[in-house]
Amino acid sequence: MVVGNQKEIIIETNNLRKEFNKTVAVDDLDLSVYKGEVFGLVGPDGAGKTTTLRLLAAIMDPTKGSATVDGFDTVKSPESIKERIGYMAQQFSLYRDLSVDENLNFFADVFGVSGKVRKERIARLLSFARLTEFRKRRAGQLSGGMQKKLGLACTLIHEPEILYLDEPTTGVDPVSRREFWDILTNLHVQGVTIVVSTPYMDEAERCSRIGLMYEGKLIECDTPEAIRHRVPGKVIQVSASDRIKARDVLRQTPEVHEVQSYGEQLHVFVDEIETGIKLIEETLANANIQVKSIRPVEPRVEEAFISLIRRRTAADSV
């Protein structure tokens, strides 16, 4: 399907719902993913991200609603979908006693990739994942980051059009996370559609668009820049002599929309920067709290997400 802005929708869900006994894991999800984009499913543990990916991969059927992938219904045509996708679960099933080469050859067998094509793809994927020099090493002896990259290489052996990645960088070091995302960026440039779930808000910033999930619901879906601007007003970062007391005092100030804690810093949401700084300084001074530093900062996806959740929770409790 091609929409008005000429972007082709390759994945679409309508009132998609999945229940496990009395637990609603995915709650009437309406979602569209454009061909060739990096789409991030973002949210805390238990938000419904993994279940959503499994539904889109035709691994499980929905309780109600529908989903299509490249025009194929996930319930009616699961095999057609599985030919077109690569799915990397949180715990990808590498064979630890097999070498890097042997793992790649095993998955090539699974997907029917043989002969000269197999040899060329394995060589290219090893280079792509920067694993060429480790091709004879057993998978169980690789670092966590290299295991993730090998898992991705195995997922790509049949050159899928669509790639599903379920929290692919969880548990790896920051350098490996960066390297993994460099590889995803290269895949994106090649036109592969990527749907990645992540609890890391800094990774969300690297996606074309993001869907914020909470308790099975999609609460917002837009570009990272648009999501960042969902925060109410401007953001001022404050360091105070008594952070907890400062937080409580500012939260009781009518002109302050919201206060979020980040380590030793407070992020205070106000209407305007200049009047907001003056208000914060005067309010904390009246409470005998020293302001160590104060400056405006750009809102981040994380702040927007927290703000949206708090506002939604407050509205639901009314």
Q: What is the DSSP letter of 141?
A: G
Q: Residues 12, 31: contact at Cβ < 8 Å?
A: yes
pLDDT band of residue 317 (cuts 50, 70, 90) is low
Nearest alpha carbon to residue 107 among 95, 91, 89: 95
Q: For residue 67, what pLDDT band results from cuts at 50, 70 and 90?
A: very high
Q: What is the pLDDT of residues 235-261, one digit of tens each?
A: 999 999 999 999 999 999 999 988 999
Under 8 Å between Cβ of 147 and 94:
yes
Instruction: Evaluate if residue 269 carries a pLDDT over 80.
Output: yes
Instruction: Give yes or no for residue 166 having a pLDDT over 50.
Output: yes
CB-side exposure of 230: number of CA atoms within 13 Å?
Answer: 24
Domains recognised in the chain with CATH numbers: 9-228 (3.40.50.300), 234-298 (3.30.70.100)
What are the tokens at 240? Answer: 């105070």
66 has pLDDT over 80: yes
Q: How confident is the model at residue 183 (pLDDT cuts 50, 70, 90)?
A: confident
The one-letter amino acid code at 9 reads I
For residues 291 and 301, give the distance between their C-alpha atoms in angstroms, rounded to a whole number. Answer: 26
3-class secondary-structure state, position 205: coil
Average pLDDT over residues 99-115: 91
Q: What is the mean pLDDT of residues 308-316?
A: 76
Q: What are phi and psi of 165, to 5 degrees?
A: -125, 120
Q: Would you state the pLDDT for residue 29?
A: 96
The single-letter DSSP state of residue 43 is: -
What is the rounded distance in angstroms from the CA atom of residue 76 to the CA atom of residue 64? 14
What share of the chain in percent tops pLDDT 90? 63
Amino acid at 19: E
Whole-model pTM over 0.75:
yes
Q: Please tell me the distance from the alpha carbon of residue 90 to that of residue 111, in angstroms, as a whole number.
A: 20
Question: In this structure, are residues 222 and 210 in contact, taking their beta carbons and an 8 Å threshold?
Answer: yes
| Confidence band for 201, pLDDT divided at 50, 70 and 90 | confident
Residue-level pLDDT at 4: 43
**If you average pLDDT over every residue of the chain, what do you get?**
90
Instruction: Look at residues 75, 79, 72, 71 and name the one whose alpha carbon lies nearest to residue 16.
Output: 75
DSSP alpha helix (H) spans, 156-242: 174-189, 201-204, 224-228
